[in-house]
Amino acid sequence: MTAAIIDGRAFAARIRERVAGHVARLKDEHAITPGLAVILVGEDPASEVYVGHKREATVAAGMESFEHRLSADTSEEALFALIDRLNADPKVHGILCQFPVPEHLDERRTVARIDPAKDVDGLSVENAGLLATGGDALVPCTPLGCLMLLRDALGDLSGQEAVVVGRSNLFGKPMAQLLLREDCTVTVAHSRTKDLAAVCRRADILVAAVGRAGMVRGDWVKPGATVIDVGITREAHPGRPGKTRLVGDVAFEEAAEVAGAITPVPGGVGPMTIACLLANTLAACCRAHGLPVPEGLTA
Ligand SMILES: Nc1nc2c(c(=O)[nH]1)N[C@@H](CN(C=O)c1ccc(C(=O)N[C@@H](CCC(=O)O)C(=O)O)cc1)CN2
Protein backbone atom coordinates (compact mmCIF):
# COMPACT_ATOMS: atom_id res chain seq x y z
CA MET A 1 0.00 0.00 0.00
CA THR A 2 1.34 3.44 -0.89
CA ALA A 3 -1.53 5.77 0.06
CA ALA A 4 -1.71 7.71 3.32
CA ILE A 5 -4.83 6.73 5.26
CA ILE A 6 -7.06 9.69 6.12
CA ASP A 7 -8.24 9.04 9.68
CA GLY A 8 -11.77 10.45 9.80
CA ARG A 9 -12.40 9.05 13.26
CA ALA A 10 -9.51 11.01 14.81
CA PHE A 11 -10.32 14.16 12.83
CA ALA A 12 -14.01 13.96 13.86
CA ALA A 13 -12.97 13.61 17.51
CA ARG A 14 -10.97 16.86 17.22
CA ILE A 15 -13.96 18.67 15.66
CA ARG A 16 -16.23 17.41 18.44
CA GLU A 17 -13.76 18.65 21.07
CA ARG A 18 -13.63 22.08 19.45
CA VAL A 19 -17.43 22.24 19.32
CA ALA A 20 -17.57 21.26 23.01
CA GLY A 21 -15.16 24.09 23.83
CA HIS A 22 -17.38 26.63 22.06
CA VAL A 23 -20.50 25.22 23.75
CA ALA A 24 -18.86 25.60 27.17
CA ARG A 25 -18.05 29.25 26.34
CA LEU A 26 -21.62 29.90 25.15
CA LYS A 27 -22.89 28.59 28.48
CA ASP A 28 -20.37 30.53 30.60
CA GLU A 29 -20.50 33.84 28.77
CA HIS A 30 -24.09 33.95 27.46
CA ALA A 31 -26.06 31.32 29.46
CA ILE A 32 -27.02 29.67 26.16
CA THR A 33 -27.15 25.90 25.61
CA PRO A 34 -27.43 24.77 21.98
CA GLY A 35 -30.25 22.25 21.49
CA LEU A 36 -30.65 19.60 18.77
CA ALA A 37 -33.95 17.81 18.07
CA VAL A 38 -33.78 14.51 16.18
CA ILE A 39 -36.91 12.87 14.82
CA LEU A 40 -36.93 9.15 14.03
CA VAL A 41 -40.01 7.72 12.33
CA GLY A 42 -40.19 3.92 12.40
CA GLU A 43 -37.67 1.30 13.48
CA ASP A 44 -35.06 1.06 10.73
CA PRO A 45 -32.18 -0.68 12.59
CA ALA A 46 -29.36 1.37 11.02
CA SER A 47 -31.25 4.62 11.73
CA GLU A 48 -31.73 3.54 15.36
CA VAL A 49 -27.95 3.20 15.66
CA TYR A 50 -27.21 6.55 13.98
CA VAL A 51 -29.80 8.38 16.11
CA GLY A 52 -28.29 6.81 19.22
CA HIS A 53 -24.81 8.02 18.16
CA LYS A 54 -26.22 11.49 17.50
CA ARG A 55 -27.73 11.64 21.00
CA GLU A 56 -24.47 10.52 22.65
CA ALA A 57 -22.38 13.00 20.64
CA THR A 58 -24.81 15.87 21.33
CA VAL A 59 -24.76 15.25 25.09
CA ALA A 60 -20.96 14.74 25.10
CA ALA A 61 -20.55 18.15 23.44
CA GLY A 62 -22.57 19.74 26.26
CA MET A 63 -25.62 20.41 24.08
CA GLU A 64 -29.21 19.55 24.87
CA SER A 65 -30.61 16.56 22.99
CA PHE A 66 -34.33 16.27 22.21
CA GLU A 67 -35.20 12.89 20.72
CA HIS A 68 -38.62 12.19 19.18
CA ARG A 69 -39.33 8.59 18.23
CA LEU A 70 -42.53 8.18 16.23
CA SER A 71 -44.20 4.96 15.15
CA ALA A 72 -43.82 3.80 11.54
CA ASP A 73 -47.49 4.62 10.78
CA THR A 74 -47.24 8.26 11.95
CA SER A 75 -49.22 10.50 9.58
CA GLU A 76 -47.67 13.43 7.76
CA GLU A 77 -50.06 15.67 9.70
CA ALA A 78 -48.72 14.42 13.07
CA LEU A 79 -45.09 14.67 11.90
CA PHE A 80 -45.63 18.22 10.65
CA ALA A 81 -47.36 19.20 13.92
CA LEU A 82 -44.24 18.05 15.80
CA ILE A 83 -41.93 19.95 13.39
CA ASP A 84 -44.06 23.09 13.84
CA ARG A 85 -43.69 22.82 17.63
CA LEU A 86 -39.91 22.37 17.33
CA ASN A 87 -39.69 25.31 14.88
CA ALA A 88 -41.34 27.50 17.51
CA ASP A 89 -39.29 26.21 20.49
CA PRO A 90 -36.48 28.67 21.40
CA LYS A 91 -34.53 25.87 23.17
CA VAL A 92 -34.26 23.99 19.87
CA HIS A 93 -31.63 25.42 17.50
CA GLY A 94 -31.32 22.44 15.14
CA ILE A 95 -33.90 19.98 13.83
CA LEU A 96 -33.43 16.92 11.66
CA CYS A 97 -35.57 14.02 10.58
CA GLN A 98 -33.52 10.84 10.23
CA PHE A 99 -33.65 9.32 6.72
CA PRO A 100 -34.96 7.11 5.29
CA VAL A 101 -38.55 7.76 6.41
CA PRO A 102 -41.35 5.18 5.85
CA GLU A 103 -42.71 5.10 2.30
CA HIS A 104 -45.95 7.00 2.99
CA LEU A 105 -43.91 10.06 4.05
CA ASP A 106 -42.06 12.35 1.65
CA GLU A 107 -38.49 13.42 2.51
CA ARG A 108 -38.63 16.59 0.44
CA ARG A 109 -41.92 17.80 2.00
CA THR A 110 -40.59 16.91 5.47
CA VAL A 111 -37.41 18.95 4.99
CA ALA A 112 -39.47 21.84 3.59
CA ARG A 113 -41.47 21.98 6.82
CA ILE A 114 -38.33 22.58 8.95
CA ASP A 115 -37.42 26.24 9.55
CA PRO A 116 -34.35 26.75 7.23
CA ALA A 117 -32.53 28.49 10.13
CA LYS A 118 -32.85 25.21 12.13
CA ASP A 119 -32.26 22.87 9.15
CA VAL A 120 -28.96 21.43 10.43
CA ASP A 121 -28.99 18.77 7.67
CA GLY A 122 -28.70 21.68 5.21
CA LEU A 123 -31.20 20.05 2.86
CA SER A 124 -33.83 22.78 2.48
CA VAL A 125 -34.25 24.61 -0.81
CA GLU A 126 -33.16 27.80 0.98
CA ASN A 127 -29.90 26.31 2.27
CA ALA A 128 -29.18 24.59 -1.07
CA GLY A 129 -29.75 27.95 -2.80
CA LEU A 130 -27.48 29.80 -0.37
CA LEU A 131 -24.73 27.21 -0.93
CA ALA A 132 -25.06 27.51 -4.71
CA THR A 133 -24.97 31.30 -4.62
CA GLY A 134 -22.15 31.75 -2.11
CA GLY A 135 -24.26 32.64 0.94
CA ASP A 136 -24.02 31.54 4.57
CA ALA A 137 -25.77 28.20 4.24
CA LEU A 138 -26.13 25.36 6.69
CA VAL A 139 -24.26 22.77 4.59
CA PRO A 140 -25.21 19.05 4.49
CA CYS A 141 -23.10 17.25 7.10
CA THR A 142 -21.40 14.53 5.03
CA PRO A 143 -20.14 16.82 2.22
CA LEU A 144 -19.02 19.36 4.83
CA GLY A 145 -17.08 16.58 6.57
CA CYS A 146 -15.45 15.56 3.27
CA LEU A 147 -14.43 19.16 2.60
CA MET A 148 -12.82 19.40 6.05
CA LEU A 149 -10.87 16.17 5.43
CA LEU A 150 -9.74 17.39 2.00
CA ARG A 151 -8.61 20.77 3.33
CA ASP A 152 -6.69 19.02 6.09
CA ALA A 153 -5.04 16.54 3.69
CA LEU A 154 -4.29 18.93 0.81
CA GLY A 155 -4.44 22.52 2.10
CA ASP A 156 -5.39 24.77 -0.81
CA LEU A 157 -7.71 22.92 -3.21
CA SER A 158 -7.64 25.64 -5.88
CA GLY A 159 -7.18 24.39 -9.45
CA GLN A 160 -7.55 20.71 -8.52
CA GLU A 161 -9.48 18.49 -10.92
CA ALA A 162 -12.30 17.02 -8.82
CA VAL A 163 -14.69 14.25 -9.86
CA VAL A 164 -17.76 13.53 -7.71
CA VAL A 165 -19.43 10.24 -8.60
CA GLY A 166 -23.08 10.53 -7.51
CA ARG A 167 -25.61 13.35 -7.88
CA SER A 168 -27.93 13.05 -4.86
CA ASN A 169 -29.35 16.10 -3.10
CA LEU A 170 -28.00 14.74 0.22
CA PHE A 171 -24.43 14.40 -1.01
CA GLY A 172 -23.32 14.70 -4.66
CA LYS A 173 -24.80 18.09 -5.52
CA PRO A 174 -23.70 19.91 -2.33
CA MET A 175 -20.25 18.26 -2.54
CA ALA A 176 -19.84 19.59 -6.07
CA GLN A 177 -20.91 23.07 -4.94
CA LEU A 178 -18.41 23.03 -2.07
CA LEU A 179 -15.54 21.98 -4.35
CA LEU A 180 -16.52 24.68 -6.85
CA ARG A 181 -16.37 27.23 -4.02
CA GLU A 182 -12.79 26.01 -3.36
CA ASP A 183 -11.94 26.80 -7.03
CA CYS A 184 -11.69 23.16 -8.09
CA THR A 185 -12.62 22.16 -11.63
CA VAL A 186 -15.59 19.92 -10.88
CA THR A 187 -17.18 17.08 -12.83
CA VAL A 188 -20.29 15.38 -11.47
CA ALA A 189 -20.44 11.84 -12.84
CA HIS A 190 -23.33 9.38 -12.47
CA SER A 191 -24.84 6.12 -13.69
CA ARG A 192 -25.31 7.48 -17.25
CA THR A 193 -21.79 8.91 -17.55
CA LYS A 194 -19.96 7.47 -20.56
CA ASP A 195 -16.66 5.75 -19.74
CA LEU A 196 -16.88 6.47 -16.02
CA ALA A 197 -13.47 4.87 -15.42
CA ALA A 198 -11.79 7.35 -17.80
CA VAL A 199 -13.58 10.30 -16.16
CA CYS A 200 -12.44 9.12 -12.70
CA ARG A 201 -8.84 8.71 -13.92
CA ARG A 202 -8.74 12.48 -14.61
CA ALA A 203 -9.36 13.29 -10.95
CA ASP A 204 -6.83 14.76 -8.54
CA ILE A 205 -9.68 14.50 -6.03
CA LEU A 206 -12.02 11.54 -6.51
CA VAL A 207 -15.16 11.44 -4.35
CA ALA A 208 -17.22 8.25 -4.64
CA ALA A 209 -20.86 8.27 -3.50
CA VAL A 210 -22.63 5.76 -5.71
CA GLY A 211 -23.89 3.32 -3.08
CA ARG A 212 -22.41 0.27 -4.86
CA ALA A 213 -19.82 -1.63 -2.87
CA GLY A 214 -16.34 -1.72 -4.44
CA MET A 215 -17.47 -0.20 -7.74
CA VAL A 216 -14.51 2.17 -8.09
CA ARG A 217 -11.55 -0.01 -9.01
CA GLY A 218 -7.84 0.64 -8.52
CA ASP A 219 -7.26 1.33 -12.22
CA TRP A 220 -9.91 4.12 -12.10
CA VAL A 221 -7.62 6.11 -9.79
CA LYS A 222 -5.00 8.57 -11.04
CA PRO A 223 -1.61 7.91 -9.38
CA GLY A 224 -1.26 10.19 -6.33
CA ALA A 225 -4.94 11.20 -6.28
CA THR A 226 -6.85 11.83 -3.04
CA VAL A 227 -9.76 9.40 -2.81
CA ILE A 228 -12.77 10.07 -0.56
CA ASP A 229 -15.10 7.09 -0.12
CA VAL A 230 -18.61 8.04 0.98
CA GLY A 231 -20.24 4.63 0.47
CA ILE A 232 -21.23 2.45 3.44
CA THR A 233 -22.59 -1.00 2.56
CA ARG A 234 -22.99 -3.82 5.06
CA GLU A 235 -22.20 -7.18 3.45
CA ALA A 236 -21.51 -10.77 4.48
CA HIS A 237 -17.94 -11.13 5.77
CA PRO A 238 -16.02 -13.28 3.25
CA GLY A 239 -13.79 -14.95 5.84
CA ARG A 240 -16.15 -15.17 8.84
CA PRO A 241 -19.40 -17.06 8.20
CA GLY A 242 -22.43 -15.45 9.89
CA LYS A 243 -20.59 -12.13 10.39
CA THR A 244 -20.97 -8.90 8.40
CA ARG A 245 -18.60 -6.08 7.57
CA LEU A 246 -18.88 -2.51 6.25
CA VAL A 247 -17.36 -1.68 2.86
CA GLY A 248 -17.19 1.46 0.76
CA ASP A 249 -17.80 2.29 -2.89
CA VAL A 250 -14.06 2.04 -3.58
CA ALA A 251 -12.12 -1.24 -3.87
CA PHE A 252 -9.88 -0.13 -1.01
CA GLU A 253 -6.87 -2.46 -1.35
CA GLU A 254 -6.52 -1.80 -5.08
CA ALA A 255 -7.08 1.95 -4.84
CA ALA A 256 -4.65 2.33 -1.92
CA GLU A 257 -1.86 0.98 -4.18
CA VAL A 258 -2.32 3.93 -6.53
CA ALA A 259 -3.78 6.84 -4.55
CA GLY A 260 -1.77 9.43 -2.62
CA ALA A 261 -4.31 9.45 0.22
CA ILE A 262 -7.56 7.58 0.83
CA THR A 263 -10.36 7.38 3.41
CA PRO A 264 -11.14 3.91 4.83
CA VAL A 265 -14.61 2.48 5.49
CA PRO A 266 -15.36 2.38 8.35
CA GLY A 267 -13.44 5.18 10.05
CA GLY A 268 -13.26 7.67 7.19
CA VAL A 269 -16.12 9.92 6.14
CA GLY A 270 -18.85 8.37 8.38
CA PRO A 271 -17.69 9.80 11.73
CA MET A 272 -17.42 13.26 10.14
CA THR A 273 -21.18 13.29 9.50
CA ILE A 274 -22.02 13.45 13.19
CA ALA A 275 -19.14 15.84 14.02
CA CYS A 276 -20.43 18.24 11.35
CA LEU A 277 -23.99 17.90 12.63
CA LEU A 278 -22.73 19.25 15.97
CA ALA A 279 -20.84 22.03 14.15
CA ASN A 280 -24.02 22.98 12.24
CA THR A 281 -26.08 22.99 15.45
CA LEU A 282 -23.53 25.29 17.06
CA ALA A 283 -23.61 27.58 13.99
CA ALA A 284 -27.44 27.65 13.96
CA CYS A 285 -27.45 28.49 17.70
CA CYS A 286 -24.91 31.31 17.30
CA ARG A 287 -26.88 32.81 14.39
CA ALA A 288 -30.17 32.55 16.32
CA HIS A 289 -28.59 34.64 19.11
CA GLY A 290 -26.83 37.13 16.82
CA LEU A 291 -23.39 35.82 17.83
CA PRO A 292 -20.48 35.19 15.43
CA VAL A 293 -20.15 31.62 14.15
CA PRO A 294 -16.79 30.14 15.27
CA GLU A 295 -14.25 29.89 12.43
CA GLY A 296 -13.13 26.61 10.93
CA LEU A 297 -16.32 24.69 11.69
CA THR A 298 -18.29 25.78 8.62
CA ALA A 299 -17.68 25.77 4.87
N1 LIG B 1 -31.30 13.15 8.18
C2 LIG B 1 -30.22 12.43 7.79
N3 LIG B 1 -30.36 11.12 7.54
C4 LIG B 1 -29.26 10.42 7.13
C5 LIG B 1 -27.99 11.03 7.02
C6 LIG B 1 -27.90 12.42 7.28
O7 LIG B 1 -26.81 13.05 7.16
N8 LIG B 1 -29.02 13.08 7.68
N9 LIG B 1 -26.86 10.27 6.72
C10 LIG B 1 -26.94 8.83 6.77
C11 LIG B 1 -26.74 8.19 8.11
N12 LIG B 1 -25.85 8.88 9.05
C13 LIG B 1 -26.31 9.94 9.74
O14 LIG B 1 -27.46 10.18 9.86
C15 LIG B 1 -24.55 8.35 9.38
C16 LIG B 1 -23.97 7.35 8.63
C17 LIG B 1 -22.74 6.79 9.03
C18 LIG B 1 -22.10 7.22 10.18
C19 LIG B 1 -20.84 6.59 10.67
O20 LIG B 1 -20.27 7.06 11.63
N21 LIG B 1 -20.40 5.48 10.07
C22 LIG B 1 -19.30 4.72 10.59
C23 LIG B 1 -19.71 3.26 10.71
C24 LIG B 1 -20.82 3.10 11.71
C25 LIG B 1 -21.32 1.65 11.81
O26 LIG B 1 -20.63 0.86 12.41
O27 LIG B 1 -22.41 1.37 11.27
C28 LIG B 1 -18.08 4.80 9.67
O29 LIG B 1 -18.28 4.98 8.45
O30 LIG B 1 -16.98 4.67 10.17
C31 LIG B 1 -22.67 8.23 10.91
C32 LIG B 1 -23.88 8.78 10.51
C33 LIG B 1 -28.30 8.37 6.26
N34 LIG B 1 -29.38 9.10 6.87
Phi, psi of 94 (to 5 degrees): -135, 140
| 160 belongs to the catalytic site | no
Nearest atom, ligand 1, residue 234 CA = 27
Sign of CA dihedral 181, 152, 226, 191: negative
Q: Which helix (H) or strand (E) holds 22?
A: helix 8-30
ipTM greater than 0.85, yes or no?
Answer: yes
Q: Looking at this protein, which amino acid is placed at residue 189?
A: A
Whose C-alpha lies nearest to ligand 1, atom 26? 266
Query: Over the stretch 51-82, which tens digit does the pLDDT of each residue have?
Result: 999 999 999 999 999 999 999 999 999 999 99
Distances in Å between the Cα of 75 and the Cα atoms of 42, 51, 68 are 12, 21, 14
Residues 101-107, mean pLDDT to the nearest whole number: 98
Range of lowest pLDDT (27-31, 184-188, 237-241, 258-262): 237-241
pLDDT value, residue 225:
98
pLDDT value, residue 1:
72
How far apart, in whole angstroms, are the C-alpha atoms of residue 296 and residue 277? Answer: 14
pTM for the whole structure:
0.98
pLDDT value, residue 221:
98
Distances in Å between the Cα of 13 and the Cα atoms of 99, 175, 262, 273, 274 are 24, 22, 19, 11, 10
| 121 belongs to the catalytic site | yes
Q: Which helix (H) or strand (E) holds 246?
A: strand 244-247
CA of 52 to the centre of ligand 1 (A): 11
Q: Is 167 one of the annotated binding-site residues?
A: yes
Whether the CB-CB separation of 206 and 226 falls below 8 Å is answered with yes
| 229 belongs to the catalytic site | no
Domain annotation for the chain: domains and CATH numbers: 29-135+273-286 (3.40.50.10860), 141-271 (3.40.50.720)
CA of 47 to the centre of ligand 1 (A): 8
Whether the CB-CB separation of 165 and 216 falls below 8 Å is answered with yes
CA of 113 to the centre of ligand 1 (A): 22
Q: Which helix (H) or strand (E) holds 205?
A: strand 205-208
Which residues have CB under 6 Å of ligand 1?
Answer: 49-50, 96-99, 121, 141-142, 232, 246, 265-267, 270-271, 273-274
CA of 131 to the centre of ligand 1 (A): 22
Facing residues of 35 across strands? 64
Distances in Å between the Cα of 107 and the Cα atoms of 85, 165, 253 are 19, 22, 36
Choose, from 119, 121, 229, 249, the residue flagged as catalytic.
121
